[in-house]
């Protein structure tokens, strides 16, 4: 394997590795715009130049293959001068409108200017003006005056999504990004172009002007929208989620985020925009009880008393259905409770529905459950069609198919732990508010067995708690019932 030296650091690299990639993988940051680990090498921005010992000219590191014995310098006076020149060239026609740009705070042009240049522009002529606030597609706005023509977005559509929806038109300083003839930027991964754009040329209509990024906190989590379980960042402030982004292993070197990424580095638009479903007006924050056909809010104490009554009347045959939306830890705790405390082994999992026919071979999966692999590994089968019992416990939700299976059966009571009124099972007598994945800690196991951890972005609202958090209250109700039954058995024997 070739051994190279970058800034006096000896590095052994795999044959065929470029100098830029080798540097980033070893904690040496080289500024760059057009290079991205998901995309082919373009080499058009010239920002990643380095000095090679024994060679007369600076060379771009993104397409320079590392050779054994190569000695590379990334921070010489000549390299610094070149970076300044590149930045000055890029800023000739770039509008200096950072205060009103949605990318401010996470813009590489802004970062590099302060880090590598910092000098005022010498350009006094009128800038070239281009199209602004263009509807590029359902989710994307395009500002061509801010574009630096790195072509990341064009290559992403062509190479990753296989949908050549973007192209570069015209030549010279009049060049601009546009949609290809007869096309719009509407592929299922279009919002990834916002992530990979290093400046503010492409912005999300959903997030546009909602919140300045420096007010946001980012929490590592997992997208629950399908069984792929993509790692995400939840960007939030004041217990409100503003956006989800693909979570990447990014190392900051010299205060600037590197583009060296690992793992899933994209999200489908469908999953990315589903964050709103988890904080709608129908979210449940207090226990609910069915009264005269309506679910009305009650206190936690009232909920425990009601549970006690339900279990004392109807506890003979308990059946439980676990949703594949709950975490591994919640599933373990609830199954243990059902078997050891409730005395039932009739524990099932909700079905794989709903299925999405628009799944693909990139990351979208037809199964819209993030944790079904784990429930299957636990040995839980789908709810059978002819199941009957007295009390039905439901965690989170039932599939439409499962609702149909239970609709015609005469349950004495249905107890549900869920986070949203839209998921309430018809006839559920008592609803306990469940903390969502964004409000709790746990893990999901995706379709191919990869276990991914999520962390709480903020505290649960109101009385909501995890399923494991509700178990002591369920145990309290069952303990009271068991005590009552033991007393009844003693009385019967005396008689």
Please provide residue 420's backbone torsions phi and psi, each rounded to the nearest 5 degrees.
-140, 135
Count of other CB atoms within 10 angstroms of residue 360: 14
Structure tokens at 195: 């992530």
Q: List beta partners, residue 240.
A: 237
Q: According to the model, what pLDDT value does residue 460 have?
A: 95
Contacts of 310 (CB under 8 A, 6+ apart): 391, 413, 415, 429, 430, 477
The dihedral built from the CA positions of residue 245, 248, 252 and 258, taken in this order, carries a sign that is: negative
Rounded Cα distance, 112 and 107, in Å: 9
Report the chain's mean pLDDT, rounded to a whole number.
89
pLDDT digits (tens, 9 = 90+) for 131-175: 999 999 999 999 999 999 999 999 999 999 999 999 999 998 899
pLDDT digits (tens, 9 = 90+) for 345-379: 999 998 765 556 668 889 999 888 999 999 999 99
93 pLDDT above the threshold of 90: yes
Q: According to the model, what pLDDT value does residue 64 have?
A: 97
464 pLDDT above the threshold of 60: yes
pLDDT digits (tens, 9 = 90+) for 328-337: 999 999 999 9
Percent with pLDDT over 90 in the chain: 74
For residue 354, is the peptide bond before it cis, meaning its omega torsion is within 30 degrees of 0?
A: yes
Percent with pLDDT over 70 in the chain: 91
Rounded Cα distance, 216 and 104, in Å: 13
Average pLDDT over residues 18-29: 95
The CATH architecture annotation of domain 124-209 reads 2-Layer Sandwich (3.30)
Regarding pTM above 0.85, the answer is yes
pLDDT tier at 479, thresholds 50, 70, 90: low
469 pLDDT above the threshold of 90: yes
470 pLDDT above the threshold of 50: yes
Nearest CA to 349 out of 389, 370, 320, 392 is that of 320
* CB contact at 8 A, 87 and 49: no
Strands 231-237 and 217-222: antiparallel
Average pLDDT over residues 255-276: 71
pLDDT digits (tens, 9 = 90+) for 282-318: 999 999 999 988 999 999 889 988 888 887 765 678 9
Count of other CB atoms within 10 angstroms of residue 437: 27
Average pLDDT over residues 186-214: 96
**In whole angstroms, how far apart are CA 427 and each of 6, 293, 310, 348, 382?**
68, 8, 14, 19, 21
Contacts 24+ apart (CB under 8 A), 45-49: 45/86, 45/90, 45/148, 45/150, 46/82, 46/86, 47/83, 47/86, 47/87, 47/112, 48/20, 49/79, 49/82, 49/83, 49/86
Structure tokens at 67: 């050779």
Rounded Cα distance, 399 and 436, in Å: 18
- Residue range 1-91, CATH number: 3.10.20.740
Q: According to the model, what pLDDT value does residue 314 have?
A: 58
3.40.1280.10, 3.40.50.740, 3.40.1000.10, 2.60.120.10: which CATH number matches 288-485?
3.40.50.740
Q: According to the model, what pLDDT value does residue 418 have?
A: 96
Largest separation between any pair of C-alpha atoms in the chain: 106
Of 90-94, 221-225, 310-314, the range with the lowest mean pLDDT is 310-314
Q: How many CA atoms lie within 13 A of 39 on its CB side?
A: 24
Average pLDDT over residues 489-493: 41
* CB contact at 8 A, 202 and 135: no
Q: According to the model, what pLDDT value does residue 492 have?
A: 38
Please provide residue 22's backbone torsions phi and psi, each rounded to the nearest 5 degrees.
-60, -40
Angle at 68 between CA 67 and CA 73, to 5 degrees: 70
* CB contact at 8 A, 269 and 139: yes
Nearest CA to 250 out of 233, 235, 270, 272 is that of 233
* CB contact at 8 A, 411 and 321: no
CATH homologous superfamily of 214-279 equals ADC-like domains (2.20.25.90)
First to last CA, the chain: 88
* CB contact at 8 A, 14 and 21: no
Alpha carbon of residue 150 to chain centroid: 26
Nearest CA to 38 out of 56, 21, 50, 16 is that of 21
Structure tokens at 295: 């679910």
Position of tokens 């601009």?
176
Q: Looking at per-residue confidence, does 480 or 132 come out higher?
A: 132
Average pLDDT over residues 452-481: 87
Count of other CB atoms within 10 angstroms of residue 361: 6
Q: According to the model, what pLDDT value does residue 233 have?
A: 96
Of 33-42, 102-111, 468-477, the range with the lowest mean pLDDT is 468-477
Q: Looking at per-residue confidence, does 228 or 489 come out higher?
A: 228
pLDDT digits (tens, 9 = 90+) for 380-430: 999 888 888 888 999 998 888 888 888 878 888 999 999 999 999 999 999
The ranges assigned to domains in the chain are: 1-91, 124-209, 214-279, 288-485
């Amino acid at each position: 394997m070739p051994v190279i030296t970058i800034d006096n650091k000896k590095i052994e690299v795999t044959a065929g590795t470029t100098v830029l990639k080798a540097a980033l993988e070893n904690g040496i940051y080289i500024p760059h715009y057009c290079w991205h680990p998901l995309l082919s090498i373009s080499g058009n921005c010239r920002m990643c130049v380095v000095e090679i010992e024994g060679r007369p000219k600076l060379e771009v590191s993104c397409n320079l293959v590392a050779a054994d014995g190569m000695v590379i310098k990334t921070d010489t006076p000549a390299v610094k001068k070149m970076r300044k020149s590149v930045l000055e060239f890029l800023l000739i026609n770039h509008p200096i409108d950072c205060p009103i740009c949605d990318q401010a705070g996470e813009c590489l042009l802004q970062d590099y200017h302060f880090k590598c240049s910092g000098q005022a522009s010498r350009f006094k002529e009128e800038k070239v003006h281009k199209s602004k606030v263009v509807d590029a597609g359902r989710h994307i706005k395009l500002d061509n005056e801010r574009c630096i023509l790195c072509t990341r977005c064009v290559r992403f559509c062509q190479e990753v999504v296989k949908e050549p929806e973007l192209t570069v038109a015209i030549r010279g300083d009049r060049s601009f990004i546009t949609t290809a003839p007869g096309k719009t930027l509407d592929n299922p991964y279009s919002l990834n172009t916002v992530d990979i754009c290093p400046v503010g040329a492409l912005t999300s209509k959903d997030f546009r002007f909602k919140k300045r990024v420096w007010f946001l906190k980012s929490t590592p989590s997992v997208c629950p929208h399908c069984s792929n379980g993509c790692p995400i960042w939840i960007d939030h402030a004041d217990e409100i989620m503003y956006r989800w982004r693909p979570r990447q292993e990014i190392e900051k070197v010299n205060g600037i985020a590197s583009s060296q990424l690992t793992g899933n580095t994209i999200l489908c638009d469908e999953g990315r925009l589903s964050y709103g479903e988890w904080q709608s007006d129908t979210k449940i924050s207090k226990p609910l009880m069915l009264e005269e056909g309506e679910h009305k809010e009650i206190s936690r104490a009232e909920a425990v008393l009601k549970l006690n009554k339900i279990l004392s009347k109807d506890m003979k045959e308990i059946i439980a259905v676990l949703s594949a939306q709950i975490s591994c830890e919640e599933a373990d705790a609830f199954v243990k409770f059902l078997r050891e405390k409730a005395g039932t082994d009739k524990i099932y999992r909700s079905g794989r529905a709903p299925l999405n026919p628009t799944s693909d071979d990139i990351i979208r999966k037809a199964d819209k459950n993030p944790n079904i692999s784990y429930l299957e590994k636990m040995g839980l089968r789908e709810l059978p069609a002819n199941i009957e019992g007295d009390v039905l416990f439901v965690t989170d939700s039932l599939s439409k198919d499962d609702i149909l299976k239970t609709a015609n059966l005469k349950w004495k009571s249905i107890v549900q732990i869920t986070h949203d009124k839209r998921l309430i099972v018809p006839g559920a007598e008592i609803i306990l508010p469940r903390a969502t994945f964004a409000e709790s800690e746990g893990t999901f196991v995706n379709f191919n067995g990869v276990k991914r951890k999520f962390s709480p972005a903020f505290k649960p609202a109101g009385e909501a708690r995890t399923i494991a958090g509700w178990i002591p209250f369920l145990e309290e109700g069952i303990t009271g019932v068991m005590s009552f039954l033991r007393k009844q058995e003693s009385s019967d024997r005396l008689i």
